[in-house]
């Protein structure tokens, strides 16, 4: 149950990250520093 919760959270944040990356790739360079 906890594993499922963590997995869902990971998928959600990955989705947000992907959307942010596609909308503005420049912000990723700043984040990586």
Q: Per residue in 1-33, pLDDT tens?
A: 899 989 998 898 888 877 877 777 665 566 655
User: For position 28, what pLDDT does the model report?
Assistant: 57
User: For position 25, what pLDDT does the model report?
Assistant: 63
Cβ(25)–Cβ(18) under 8 Å? no
Cα 15 from Cα 11, distance rounded (Å): 6
User: For position 30, what pLDDT does the model report?
Assistant: 60
User: For position 18, what pLDDT does the model report?
Assistant: 79
User: For position 19, what pLDDT does the model report?
Assistant: 81
């Amino acid at each position: 149950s906890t594993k499922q919760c963590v997995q869902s959270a990971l998928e959600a944040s990955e989705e947000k990250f992907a959307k942010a990356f596609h909308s503005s790739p420049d912000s990723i360079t700043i984040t990586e520093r």
